[in-house]
Chain A
Amino acid sequence: MAQLAPTTTATSSSGVVRRRRRVPAADELPLSMAPKPALRAVAIVVLVIACLYFLVPVYWLVVASTKSNADLSTTFGFWFSGKNSLIDNYNSLMSWTQGLFWRWVGNSLLYSTVAGVLGTLFSVMAGYAIAKFAFPGKKIAVGVIMGGLLLPVALLTVPLYLEFHTLGLVNTIWAIIIPSAVSPFGVFLGMVYAQSSVPTELIEAARIDGANEARIFFTIVLRLLAPAMVTIFLFIFVATWNNFLLPLLMVSSADLKPVTLGLYGMMSYFAPVKGAVMLGALLGVLPLVILFFALQRYWRAGMAAGAVKG
Chain B
Amino acid sequence: MPSKKAAGRVIALVGVGTLAVGLSACAGGSNDAGDDAASSGPVTITYMHRLPDGEGMTPVDDIVAKWNKEHPDIQVKATKFDGAASEMILKLETDIKAGSGPCLAQIGYSEVPGMYVKGLLQDVTTEAGKYADNYSAGAFGMMKVGDKVVGLPQDTGPLVYFYNATAFKKLGLTVPTTMDELAADAATASKDGKYVAAFTPDEAQNWLSAQAAAAGDTWFGASDDKWQVNTQGTGSQQVSALWQGLIDDKQVFVGDRWGDAFTKALTDGSLIGHVGAAWEAGFLLDPLDGTESEGQWRVAQLPTFGTDAMTGPDGGSGVSVMKGCEYPEQAMEFNNWFNTQVDDLTSQGLVVAAKGTPTTPTKMKKQFGDQDVLSELATATQNLNPDFPYMPGFSALSTMNETAAKAGSGDVPVSDIFTTAQTTAVSTIKDLGLPVAGN
- From A24-32, A160-168, A285-293, give the one contacting chain B: A160-168
- From B2, B56, B83, B264, A73 is in contact (CB under 8 Å) with B264
- From B1, B13, B59, B287, A70 is in contact (CB under 8 Å) with B287
Asked if residues B10 and A121 are in contact (CB atoms below 8 Å), the reply is yes
Asked if A203 lies at the interface with its beta carbon under 8 angstroms from chain B, I say no
- From A36-44, A142-150, A184-192, A217-225, give the one contacting chain B: A217-225
Taking CB atoms, residues of chain B closer than 8 Å to A273 are: 54-55
- In the A-B complex, list the 8 residue pairs whose CB atoms are closest, starting with the nearest: A265-B82, A223-B3, A171-B29, A253-B29, A271-B283, A114-B17, A95-B55, A70-B287
Of B52, B61, B291, the most chain A CB neighbours within 10 A belong to: B52
Asked if A269 lies at the interface with its beta carbon under 8 angstroms from chain B, I say yes
Number of A-B contacts (CB under 8 A): 149
Taking CB atoms, residues of chain B closer than 8 Å to A269 are: 52, 54
Listed A/B pairs (18) with beta-carbon separation below 8 Å: A69-B286, A95-B55, A95-B56, A110-B17, A117-B17, A158-B94, A171-B29, A171-B32, A173-B25, A219-B7, A226-B6, A251-B29, A252-B48, A252-B81, A253-B79, A264-B83, A268-B82, A298-B2
Binding site for A on B (CB under 8 A): 1-4, 6-7, 10, 13-14, 17, 20-21, 24-25, 28-32, 48, 50, 52-56, 59, 61, 79-84, 87, 90-91, 94, 97-98, 100, 258, 260, 263-264, 267-268, 279-280, 282-284, 286-291
Report Cα–Cα, A166/B94, bound state, in Å: 12
**Given A113-B13, A170-B31, A268-B82: A248 and B286 interface contact (C-beta under 8 Å):** no
Report Cα–Cα, A166/B83, bound state, in Å: 24
Report Cα–Cα, A225/B87, bound state, in Å: 41
Question: Which chain A residues (262-310) contact chain B, with CB distance < 8 Å?
Answer: 262, 264-265, 268-271, 273, 297-298, 301
Of B31, B50, B56, the most chain A CB neighbours within 10 A belong to: B31
Report Cα–Cα, A57/B370, bound state, in Å: 41
Asked if A235 lies at the interface with its beta carbon under 8 angstroms from chain B, I say no
Nearest CB in chain B: distance from A180 CB, A: 13
Asked if residues B286 and A70 are in contact (CB atoms below 8 Å), the reply is yes
Taking CB atoms, residues of chain A closer than 8 Å to B79 are: 252-254
Taking CB atoms, residues of chain B closer than 8 Å to A102 are: none
- From B21, B82, B291, A174 is in contact (CB under 8 Å) with B21
Nearest CB in chain A: distance from B395 CB, A: 16
Of B59, B84, B287, the most chain A CB neighbours within 10 A belong to: B287
Asked if A96 lies at the interface with its beta carbon under 8 angstroms from chain B, I say yes
Nearest CB in chain B: distance from A123 CB, A: 13
Asked if A182 lies at the interface with its beta carbon under 8 angstroms from chain B, I say no
Taking CB atoms, residues of chain B closer than 8 Å to A91 are: 55
Asked if residues B1 and A223 are in contact (CB atoms below 8 Å), the reply is yes
Nearest CB in chain A: distance from B385 CB, A: 23
Asked if residues A70 and B83 are in contact (CB atoms below 8 Å), the reply is no
**Given A70-B289, A113-B17, A222-B3: A158 and B90 interface contact (C-beta under 8 Å):** yes
- From B4, B81, B100, A219 is in contact (CB under 8 Å) with B4
**Given A73-B260, A110-B17: A98 and B53 interface contact (C-beta under 8 Å):** yes
Nearest CB in chain A: distance from B171 CB, A: 23
Asked if residues B94 and A256 are in contact (CB atoms below 8 Å), the reply is no
- For the A-B complex with A170-B100, A173-B20 known, give 9 more contacts whose Cβ atoms are closer than 8 Å: A74-B264, A110-B20, A161-B98, A171-B30, A218-B3, A248-B83, A249-B91, A253-B29, A261-B82
Nearest CB in chain A: distance from B322 CB, A: 14
Report Cα–Cα, A220/B90, bound state, in Å: 48
Asked if residues B29 and A256 are in contact (CB atoms below 8 Å), the reply is yes
Taking CB atoms, residues of chain A closer than 8 Å to B48 are: 252
Of chain A, the residue at the smallest CB distance from B263 is A73
Asked if residues A98 and B82 are in contact (CB atoms below 8 Å), the reply is no
Asked if A86 lies at the interface with its beta carbon under 8 angstroms from chain B, I say no
Question: Which chain A residues (183-242) contact chain B, with CB distance < 8 Å?
Answer: 218-220, 222-223, 226, 229
Asked if residues A96 and B263 are in contact (CB atoms below 8 Å), the reply is no
Asked if A118 lies at the interface with its beta carbon under 8 angstroms from chain B, I say yes
Report Cα–Cα, A301/B7, bound state, in Å: 13
Taking CB atoms, residues of chain A closer than 8 Å to B56 are: 95
Asked if residues A248 and B82 are in contact (CB atoms below 8 Å), the reply is yes
Of chain A, the residue at the smallest CB distance from B8 is A218
Asked if residues A172 and B283 are in contact (CB atoms below 8 Å), the reply is no
**Given A69-B286, A70-B267, A70-B286: A268 and B83 interface contact (C-beta under 8 Å):** yes
Taking CB atoms, residues of chain B closer than 8 Å to A74 are: 264, 267-268
Of A172, A251, A256, the most chain B CB neighbours within 10 A belong to: A172
Nearest CB in chain A: distance from B159 CB, A: 15
Taking CB atoms, residues of chain B closer than 8 Å to A220 are: 3
Asked if residues A96 and B55 are in contact (CB atoms below 8 Å), the reply is yes
Taking CB atoms, residues of chain B closer than 8 Å to A253 are: 28-30, 79
- From B10, B84, B282, B286, A268 is in contact (CB under 8 Å) with B84
Report Cα–Cα, A256/B21, bound state, in Å: 12
Report Cα–Cα, A121/B6, bound state, in Å: 11
Nearest CB in chain A: distance from B11 CB, A: 10
Of chain A, the residue at the smallest CB distance from B288 is A70
**Given A73-B263, A73-B267, A252-B32: A117 and B13 interface contact (C-beta under 8 Å):** yes
Of B48, B53, B81, the most chain A CB neighbours within 10 A belong to: B53
Asked if residues A252 and B263 are in contact (CB atoms below 8 Å), the reply is no
Report Cα–Cα, A262/B54, bound state, in Å: 12
- From A171, A262, A270, B31 is in contact (CB under 8 Å) with A171
Of chain B, the residue at the smallest CB distance from A74 is B267
- From A72, A226, A268, B50 is in contact (CB under 8 Å) with A268
Report Cα–Cα, A199/B61, bound state, in Å: 60
Taking CB atoms, residues of chain A closer than 8 Å to B280 are: 270
Nearest CB in chain A: distance from B153 CB, A: 19
Question: Which chain A residues (86-121) contact chain B, with CB distance < 8 Å?
Answer: 91-92, 95-96, 98, 110, 113-114, 117-118, 121
